[in-house]
Chains A and B, each alone.
Chain A
Amino acid sequence: MKEMFSKKYLATLISTFAVGTGIILACAGDWGPEYGTSSFTPEAFVDSGYRPFFYSGYSMYYDIGYDTKHDSRFNESNVNDWSTYLGNGAPVAELQHLLNTTTLGSIDSAANYASGKTKTLPASMQSFQLFKKLNSKTTSFLNYLVLAKKSEEFAISNVQYSWEYEEKKKRGPYANAAALNAKLLSEFTIAKDPFLKQRYWFQLERSYYFNAPTQKAIEFFESNEKAFPKNDMYYRTMAYAAGIYYTLKNYTKANYYYSRVFEGCAALRTVAHYSFHPQEQADWNATLALCANNEEKATLWQMLGIYYGDDVRAMQEIYTMNPKSEKLNILLARAINRQEQEFSLWNDGIRDNIINVKKDTTGNNLLAFVSRITQAGNTSAPWMWHTATGYLYMLKGNTAKAAASYAQAEKKLPKAELAQLQLRLLKLINIIASTPKADSKLEKAILPELEWLANLKMEDGEFRHSSALNWIKQTLSERYKAQKEFIKAVCYSNYTGFYINNSNIEAMKSFLAKPNKTPYEALYAKFYALTTNDLLEFQAIDLALHDKLDEAIVKMESIPNGGATLPGNPFNGRLQDCHDCDHEAPQKIKYTKLSLLKKMKDMKDKVKAGQDVYTNAMLLANAFYNITHYGNARAFYEGRITGEYHYSPFSIGNEFRNMLTDMTLANKYYTQGLNAAKTDEQKAKCYFMLAKCERNKYYNDSLYINRTYEYGDQPSMPDFKAWDGFRSLKQYKTTKFYQEAIRECGYFRTYSQR
Chain B
Amino acid sequence: MKKYWWPLLLIMVLTAACRHQNKPLSFYYWKTQFTLNDYEKSVLNEHAVTSLYVRYFDVDFKPDGKEPEPVSPIKPDSSIRAYRVTPVIFIRNRTFERLEATTIPMLVKNVAFLVNLINQSQGIRPQQIQFDCDWTERTRDKFFEFIKQYRALTNQTISATIRLHQVKYKEITGVPPVDYGVLMYYNMGAINGDNNNSIYEKSIADKYNTYIKSYPLAMDVALPVFSWGLTIRNGKVVELLNKINFSQFENDSNFIKAASDRYQAKHACFKGGYYFKENDQIKQEHVPASDLLDITNQINKNTNHKIGKLIFYDLDSTNLVQYERDVFEKVLSNLN
Binding site for B on A (CB under 8 A): 10-11, 13-23, 25, 58-59, 64-66, 160-163, 165-167, 170, 277-281, 283-284, 304, 307-310, 313
Closest Cβ of chain A to B29, distance in Å, is: 12
7 closest residue pairs by CB, A with B: A65-B64, A308-B275, A14-B72, A161-B69, A163-B110, A281-B269, A20-B163
**Closest A residue by C-beta to B92:** A15
B117 on interface, CB distance cutoff 8 Å: yes
Closest Cβ of chain A to B195, distance in Å, is: 17
Identify 8 residue pairs between A and B in the complex whose beta-carbon atoms are under 8 Å apart, listed by A's number. A11-B32, A14-B71, A15-B90, A16-B240, A17-B228, A23-B192, A280-B270, A308-B277
**Closest B residue by C-beta to A277:** B273
Most interface-central of A22, A23, A166, A313 (chain B CB within 10 A): A166
**Closest B residue by C-beta to A64:** B64
Q: Within 8 Å CB of B190, what residues of A?
A: 21
B12 on interface, CB distance cutoff 8 Å: no
Within 8 A of A (CB), among B31-68: 32, 55, 58, 62-64
Please state if A313 and B184 are interface contacts (CB–CB under 8 Å).
Answer: no
Please state if B187 and A17 are interface contacts (CB–CB under 8 Å).
Answer: yes
Binding site for A on B (CB under 8 A): 30, 32, 55, 58, 62-64, 69-73, 90, 92, 110, 113-114, 117-118, 121, 132, 134, 161, 163-165, 184, 187-192, 198, 226, 228, 237-238, 240, 242, 254, 268-273, 275, 277-278, 313
Report which of A21, A59, A160 forms a contact with B189, defined as CB distance below 8 A.
A21
Cα(A672)–Cα(B39), bound, Å: 89
Please state if B188 and A20 are interface contacts (CB–CB under 8 Å).
Answer: yes
Cα(A308)–Cα(B198), bound, Å: 25
Cα(A310)–Cα(B274), bound, Å: 13
Q: Within 8 Å CB of A22, what residues of B?
A: 191
Q: Within 8 Å CB of A17, what residues of B?
A: 30, 187, 226, 228, 242
Q: Within 8 Å CB of B188, what residues of A?
A: 20-21
Q: Within 8 Å CB of B240, what residues of A?
A: 16, 23
Please state if A23 and B237 are interface contacts (CB–CB under 8 Å).
Answer: yes
Q: Within 8 Å CB of A14, what residues of B?
A: 32, 58, 71-72
**Closest A residue by C-beta to B115:** A166
Cα(A11)–Cα(B32), bound, Å: 7
Cα(A309)–Cα(B268), bound, Å: 12
Please state if A161 and B71 are interface contacts (CB–CB under 8 Å).
Answer: yes
Please state if A65 and B63 are interface contacts (CB–CB under 8 Å).
Answer: yes
Please state if B277 and A18 are interface contacts (CB–CB under 8 Å).
Answer: no
Q: Within 8 Å CB of B269, what residues of A?
A: 281, 284
Please state if B275 and A304 are interface contacts (CB–CB under 8 Å).
Answer: yes
Cα(A284)–Cα(B69), bound, Å: 36
Q: Within 8 Å CB of A283, what residues of B?
A: 270
Please state if B58 and A21 are interface contacts (CB–CB under 8 Å).
Answer: no
Cα(A20)–Cα(B192), bound, Å: 13
Q: Within 8 Å CB of A64, what residues of B?
A: 64
Report which of A10, A19, A170, A310 forms a contact with B277, defined as CB distance below 8 A.
A310
Report which of B90, B117, B228, B277 forms a contact with A167, defined as CB distance below 8 A.
B117
Cα(A309)–Cα(B92), bound, Å: 27
Please state if A166 and B270 are interface contacts (CB–CB under 8 Å).
Answer: no
User: Given A161-B69, A163-B70, are A18 and B90 neighbors across the interface (CB < 8 Å)?
Assistant: yes
Q: Within 8 Å CB of A280, what residues of B?
A: 270-272
Q: Within 8 Å CB of B164, what residues of A?
A: 20
Cα(A310)–Cα(B30), bound, Å: 32
Report which of B118, B191, B273 forms a contact with A23, defined as CB distance below 8 A.
B191
Please state if A166 and B277 are interface contacts (CB–CB under 8 Å).
Answer: no
Closest Cβ of chain A to B317, distance in Å, is: 17
Closest Cβ of chain B to A169, distance in Å, is: 8
Cα(A222)–Cα(B249), bound, Å: 37
Cα(A58)–Cα(B188), bound, Å: 24
User: Given A21-B189, A21-B190, A65-B62, are A281 and B69 neighbors across the interface (CB < 8 Å)?
Assistant: no
User: Given A14-B58, A280-B270, are A161 and B64 neighbors across the interface (CB < 8 Å)?
Assistant: no
Closest Cβ of chain A to B173, distance in Å, is: 12
Please state if A166 and B114 are interface contacts (CB–CB under 8 Å).
Answer: yes
Most interface-central of B184, B269, B275 (chain A CB within 10 A): B275
Please state if A21 and B90 are interface contacts (CB–CB under 8 Å).
Answer: no
Cα(A277)–Cα(B192), bound, Å: 26
Cα(A220)–Cα(B240), bound, Å: 40
Q: Within 8 Å CB of A15, what residues of B?
A: 55, 58, 71, 90, 92
Q: Within 8 Å CB of B117, what residues of A?
A: 166-167
Please state if B161 and A18 are interface contacts (CB–CB under 8 Å).
Answer: yes
Please state if B187 and A20 are interface contacts (CB–CB under 8 Å).
Answer: yes
Closest Cβ of chain B to A144, distance in Å, is: 34
**Closest A residue by C-beta to B69:** A161
Please state if A166 and B73 are interface contacts (CB–CB under 8 Å).
Answer: yes
User: Given A13-B72, A20-B187, A21-B190, are A163 and B113 neighbors across the interface (CB < 8 Å)?
Assistant: yes
Report which of B63, B114, B187, B254 forms a contact with A21, defined as CB distance below 8 A.
B187
**Closest A residue by C-beta to B192:** A23
Q: Within 8 Å CB of A165, what residues of B?
A: 70, 73, 114
Cα(A207)–Cα(B278), bound, Å: 42
**Closest A residue by C-beta to B269:** A281
User: Given A19-B187, A66-B64, A310-B268, are A13 and B238 neighbors across the interface (CB < 8 Å)?
Assistant: no
Closest Cβ of chain B to A17, distance in Å, is: 7
**Closest A residue by C-beta to B314:** A17
Please state if B187 and A18 are interface contacts (CB–CB under 8 Å).
Answer: yes
Cα(A23)–Cα(B187), bound, Å: 11
Cα(A304)–Cα(B276), bound, Å: 11
Q: Within 8 Å CB of B118, what residues of A?
A: 166
Q: Within 8 Å CB of B30, what residues of A?
A: 17-18
Report which of A13, A58, A313 forms a contact with B268, defined as CB distance below 8 A.
A313
Cα(A120)–Cα(B238), bound, Å: 64
Most interface-central of A58, A163, A283 (chain B CB within 10 A): A163
Cα(A54)–Cα(B211), bound, Å: 47
Cα(A420)–Cα(B313), bound, Å: 57
Report which of A162, A278, A313 forms a contact with B69, defined as CB distance below 8 A.
A162
Cα(A160)–Cα(B114), bound, Å: 15
Q: Within 8 Å CB of B132, what residues of A?
A: 18
Closest Cβ of chain A to B229, distance in Å, is: 12
Please state if B73 and A21 are interface contacts (CB–CB under 8 Å).
Answer: no
Q: A23-B240, A66-B64 are in contact. List 6 more A-B contacts (CB 8 A).
A: A14-B32, A20-B184, A59-B63, A166-B118, A284-B270, A309-B238
**Closest B residue by C-beta to A312:** B277
Cα(A426)–Cα(B56), bound, Å: 51
Cα(A64)–Cα(B62), bound, Å: 12
Please state if B271 and A13 are interface contacts (CB–CB under 8 Å).
Answer: no
Q: Within 8 Å CB of B271, what residues of A?
A: 280-281
Cα(A194)–Cα(B253), bound, Å: 51
Cα(A278)–Cα(B272), bound, Å: 9
Cα(A310)–Cα(B265), bound, Å: 14
Q: Within 8 Å CB of B161, what residues of A?
A: 18
Q: Within 8 Å CB of B238, what residues of A?
A: 25, 309
Q: Within 8 Å CB of A65, what residues of B?
A: 62-64
Cα(A10)–Cα(B32), bound, Å: 10
Q: Within 8 Å CB of B165, what residues of A?
A: 20
Cα(A20)–Cα(B237), bound, Å: 16
Most interface-central of A13, A14, A160, A277 (chain B CB within 10 A): A14
Please state if B72 and A10 are interface contacts (CB–CB under 8 Å).
Answer: yes
Q: Within 8 Å CB of A277, what residues of B?
A: 273
Please state if A281 and B114 are interface contacts (CB–CB under 8 Å).
Answer: no
Cα(A66)–Cα(B114), bound, Å: 23
Closest Cβ of chain A to B21, distance in Å, is: 30
Cα(A163)–Cα(B32), bound, Å: 16
Q: Within 8 Å CB of A310, what residues of B?
A: 268, 275, 277
Closest Cβ of chain B to A56, distance in Å, is: 11
